[in-house]
Structure 1
Amino acid sequence: METLLQQRKTLKAKKPTFMRQDAHKKVKLKNNWRRPKGSDSKMRVSRHGYRRSVRIGWGSPSEVKGLASSGLRPVMVENVSQLSSLDPKKDCVVLVSSVGTKKRIMVIEAALKKGLTFMNIKDPAKCVDDLKKAFQDKKQKSDSKRKERTEKKEKVKKEAEKAKKKEEEKASVKKDASDEKDAPLTEEEKKLEEKKEKDKVLIQRQ
C-alpha cells in the first residue's frame, strides 16, 4: 500500500496541468479541460511547443484511487449515526461544512472516542474546546441581551405607570377644585360677593 501511495505521489508530481486551448490567452475561456476539435489546431495534432492533451497513463493505481495521502478512505459525515459503520484502520472522516455547532461537537467527540481521524480538521480536540467556548460566549451574550430587553421593558412599564398615576392625581385635583367651586356659598361669602358687586357699580359710576 505504501509503495502504491508513493508511486501515485511521484506520478502526480510529474503530471502536467491539462488546460483548455487558449485558456491562458482569453479571459472568457475557463481552465477546465476541453478536447481541441479545430481542423487547424496544433494542440489537437500534438505539435511540439504546444500544450499537452489528455492521454492514458497519468491515472493513479486502482488500489489507491480515491484514497487520502494516509491511505485511508475519506467518508463524508454529517451526524453521529454515520460513524458506526466506519473502521479507524480503513476510513477517515470528512465533516460536512453545513453541520451546526452543537452537532459538530457531538460528531467530533464521538469520532475521537472511536479513534477515527479527520481529513478537514487538524486538531479535533482543540476544535471541540474552541467550539464549546464560542458557544458559551454566544449563549452569555444572548442571555445578557435578553436581560437588557427585560429591564428596558420593566423601565418603560414603570414610567408609564408613573405617568398614569400623575394624570390621575391631576384629574382628582381638578375635580376637587370644580367641586369646591360648585359648592353653595356661606352667608359671609355671599355678603363679600355682594360688596364686591356694589364696589364695581360705584367705580363704574365715577
Structure 2
Amino acid sequence: MILIEDTVISDDIKEKEFVCNLEKCKGACCIEGDLGAPLEEIELKVLQDEFEAIAPFLSPEGLEAIREQGLYIEDEEGDFSTPTIAGRECAYVVYDKNGCLKCGIEDAYNAGKTDFKKPISCHLYPIRVTKYEQYHALNYDQWSICSDACTLGKELQVPVYKFLKEPLERAYGEEWYAQLVEEIEGE
C-alpha cells in the first residue's frame, strides 16, 4: 500500500501491467456492468453546461436515452452515473467504423468543442476510486473483459500507474503523480 497525501493506493497499481487493447475488447467497459459510467458531482454541472457542444457527437439512440432519462441518473445510494441505452451501453458512446465503442464526449473534446475530456471514472479505468471522509482509496479493478489489456501491458511492460499518468495527473495533480513515481521507483 502506498500513502500520498489523502490517498491510499493499492500495490496492484504499481505491480500490475495494463494497456487498453481496443482492437480486441471493442470498448466492452462502455457496455458491460450494472450502470453507466460513475460521475462526480462536479461533472453533473459540466454535462449541463457542455451538452450542446457534445450532442452532435452522440448517436441518435444515445440522444434518445438522454432525452428520456436525463443527462445523468442517480441510483438508490445517491451516486450518479451516465444513462444507458436499453440498460446496456453508456448513452454517451458511439461506434466507430471498426465496431469499437468510443466516447462521444471525448470526440467532442478532440474536435475542440469542449474542455471536458470524459468522466474521470472512465479516464482512470482500470483504477476505481472509493471516496471516504478522510481519504480516497485507489484500487485496481481486475475485470475479465480487460484480459487482452493485461496481456498487452505485460508484453509492453507498462504498469498501471504509467499507463494512467494523464488521468492520475488530471485527478490529483502533477506534483501528486511525481510523488507516486518517486514512491514506486525510489524503492
Q: Same fold (TM over 0.5)?
A: no
TM-score by length of structure 1 reads 0.20
- The structure with the largest alpha-carbon Rg is 1
TM-score by length of structure 2 reads 0.22
Higher strand share: 2
